[in-house]
Structure 1
């Protein structure tokens, strides 16, 4: 019989933590569920650890392992896992986080209490350091306060994808994630708000490891700075373009396009600057993007045209901080 819920364990380069993460999912005290332990082509032992855990498991849940042959990134990884299951409720579990034993049971209870109307259920998180020491509660916004697109347009909610469950039907309505997307949580939340709705369980159901492999690096060289600008703005462009496509499906393109017009133009300009091969190409971009304020364009032009200067400022700040 098809399970109602599938927990998608997304891991990459998490050999030190993935066994704990997987065991916390296998230990869920709930009806039988589907669990997919997935490694996104890690260069370390993450995949081997997941295979060994699945082979040794003896319990009520259906467990499968996926080992990617090439790294897909967050969005591509999600797309691949969603294709592997037909469960109506999809629950995220990061490869370095821990799910409380009652997490799935509480998510399912909340979903069923809504008559299975909701398309996303979130929860708070319990922060923890790299060594597992608990820190503070990490709250997210009460998504019941975002009943429609008008509320989302007024202010985006604070959400964390590591503690979300979303429906298969919302993915089927809007389609797969753009593979360039690095953070799916705003996409899944917007899709839910303009569909069946969303809510937040006001307690921490995920122990959230902070300072992992995705922690932002110090930009101490020109190459660091340019690479970060290229990556970050490419991600912003991808997210906003995805939101525009989803808004089109929801019949809200005009309102969302009006809100995203300026930030999307800025992100596209910065991404293009970081991609430009030389100063002449950057000067051409400076002239072409007349829809943006000239002073702002010039400031970003100089930052990207002379990245060594900005990296030097960052090195000086790092040295001064080290002396403090």
Structure 2
């Protein structure tokens, strides 16, 4: 582990935070992407959330062999925290003015940090989220493709508040970098959640500084099943963990909004919305004693389409419902999914 960078007043120290859990088959490429960053000064934190495979050992091996200009720190959680607390733990350790986040199965382009810092400095170092376009690739896709940033830069309060009211995440979380103040100015994430992007979206929108870069800086691997996909009614334990995470995330969002200085009436309405969302989500916790019958699937299917607390369009909700009850080999599912991908 080596750090030959000379800190100076022109270029702020940045943290490149790589988060991994049971990703031994992909982690080498992710770490190589971190080590390839051209920006200096840079600290790289390789963080493992108590994997049960060789992810952490590979991190240790690669860190020991690294001879480049960046400072490399490796850490491992005492227990499996879940994504939210994992991110919080690394933020507490970070010394950078910006935290560039990366997943253990994604690959960052070598100029990612440089592009992010250049834009941040151009905008005079606001408390901000900076995100970019993204390249999708991997085993679940026929071919790779690029998507532009989910939304252009959002730098005024009125527009930011519209996104808050619509409960919309305006970025691809895998591409984000965050000012350290978005962690320090708020209470720590609540534990037990695998979701952090919704919370960071609320904090970024409250800051009214979400800056976009129309260049793909991250290659996100799309696998057949990952921590954020593949939920099925037939796996109630996994589904319930996801529902619990949504509940905790909504409560965390309401708490963060309560700390803001937005209009008092709007603050009350937004707090009420997110707390009510948490309550409605709790209705979708699955009982382990229920048998996975056709009637149960149909009842869940209808409830999900009409009552699940989400503001996505009807067709997307329908596709999700079909997938959840494991009917994604049907013609209607394939037709709708093909239509939505156009």
Q: Could you tell me the TM-score, scaled by structure 2's length?
A: 0.75
Q: Matched residue pairs, number?
A: 290
Describe the shift of the 1:275–1:142 C-alpha distance in structure 2 as closer, same or farther (beyond 3 A).
same
Residue 244 (str. 1) matches residue 249 (str. 2): no
Take 2:144 and 2:70, find their aligned partners in 1: how far apart are those partners? Answer: 31
Q: Deviations over 1:139-175 (max 9, x none)?
A: 3322524632422234323422211000111111112
Counterparts of residues 73-84 of structure 1 (less than 5 Å):
73-84=82-93
Describe the shift of the 1:267–1:114 C-alpha distance in structure 2 as closer, same or farther (beyond 3 A).
same
1:230–1:275: 8 Å Cα contact kept in structure 2? no
Residue 216 (str. 1) matches residue 225 (str. 2): no
Query: Aligned to 1:30, which of 8, 31, 39?
Result: 39
1:141–1:159: 8 Å Cα contact kept in structure 2? yes
1:34–1:63: 8 Å Cα contact kept in structure 2? yes
Secondary structure of the residue aligned to 1:206 is strand
Secondary structure of the residue aligned to 2:283 is helix
Describe the shift of the 1:210–1:110 C-alpha distance in structure 2 as closer, same or farther (beyond 3 A).
same
Identify the range of structure 1 (151-160 vs 33-42) with the bigger mean alpha-carbon deviation.
Answer: 151-160
Describe the shift of the 1:157–1:83 C-alpha distance in structure 2 as closer, same or farther (beyond 3 A).
closer
Counterparts of residues 53-132 of structure 1 (less than 5 Å):
53-130=62-139
Residue 232 (str. 1) matches residue 246 (str. 2): no
Take 1:218 and 1:171, find their aligned partners in 2: how far apart are those partners? Answer: 29
- Structure 1 unaligned regions, length at least 5: 279-294, 301-309
Take 2:78 and 2:209, find their aligned partners in 1: how far apart are those partners? Answer: 36
Secondary structure of the residue aligned to 1:63 is strand
Take 2:221 and 2:256, find their aligned partners in 1: how far apart are those partners? Answer: 31
Which residue is equivalent to 1:177? Answer: 189
Secondary structure of the residue aligned to 1:125 is strand
1:153–1:259: 8 Å Cα contact kept in structure 2? no
Take 2:233 and 2:247, find their aligned partners in 1: how far apart are those partners? Answer: 25
Secondary structure of the residue aligned to 2:62 is helix
Which residue is equivalent to 1:166? Answer: 178
Residue 15 (str. 1) matches residue 15 (str. 2): no
- Greater per-residue helix proportion: 1
Q: Deviations over 1:109-147 (max 9, x none)?
A: 011111001411011110011499851113332252463
Identify the range of structure 1 (209-218 vs 25-34) with the bigger mean alpha-carbon deviation.
Answer: 209-218
Take 1:276 and 1:175, find their aligned partners in 2: how far apart are those partners? Answer: 34
Describe the shift of the 1:250–1:266 C-alpha distance in structure 2 as closer, same or farther (beyond 3 A).
same
Residue 39 (str. 1) matches residue 53 (str. 2): no
2:164–2:202: 8 Å Cα contact kept in structure 1? no
Secondary structure of the residue aligned to 1:101 is coil
1:97–1:208: 8 Å Cα contact kept in structure 2? yes
Shift of residue 258, structure 1, vs aligned partner: 3.9
Which residue is equivalent to 2:297? Answer: none
Describe the shift of the 1:219–1:30 C-alpha distance in structure 2 as closer, same or farther (beyond 3 A).
closer
Shift of residue 5, structure 1, vs aligned partner: 0.5
Q: Could you tell me the TM-score, scaled by structure 1's length?
A: 0.79
Which residue is equivalent to 2:269? Answer: 255
Query: Aligned to 2:200, which of 184, 188, 202?
Result: 188
1:6–1:35: 8 Å Cα contact kept in structure 2? yes
Residue 269 (str. 1) matches residue 280 (str. 2): no
Residue 147 (str. 1) matches residue 156 (str. 2): yes
Pick the structure with greater CA Rg. 1
1:7–1:25: 8 Å Cα contact kept in structure 2? yes
